[in-house]
Amino acid sequence: VAARVPADLLAMYERLAARGVGAGLLHRKTCEACRMVLSGTDLQTIRQAADDDVVTCPECGAILVRTDESGL
């Protein structure tokens, strides 16, 4: 799977994972990496990001994986 991930994104993930959780699912407005419910302001920022933009949790910095169940 890693071979299909762009090198810069993989490097970002590896850097984040070295200090804790590298990525987490955004599920029902909650970052599953740190279990924080994101604020309305943070969710609005994420809503405005393009589908292919890499967004991170404002609390823990993990890459947020957005799905239909993200609550956006």
In a domain, 58, yes or no: yes
DSSP state of 49: S
Residue 7 counted as domain residue: yes
Phi first, then psi, for residue 43 (nearest 5°) are -65, -35
Cα 72 to the chain's mean position, in Å? 13
Q: What is the DSSP code (8-state) at residue 56?
A: B
Q: What is the pLDDT of residue 13?
A: 93
Overall number of domains in the chain:
1
Q: Is 12 part of any domain?
A: yes
In-domain check, residue 31: yes
Give SS3 for 15: helix
Q: Are 34 and 60 in contact (CB under 8 A)?
A: yes
Tell me whether residue 71 is in a domain: no
The answer to whether residue 9 sits within a structural domain is yes
Predicted pLDDT of residue 3: 83
Q: Residue 53 belongs to what domain range?
A: 2-66
Q: What is the pLDDT of residues 10-63, one digit of tens each?
A: 999 999 999 989 999 999 999 999 999 999 999 999 999 999 999 999 999 999
In a domain, 72, yes or no: no
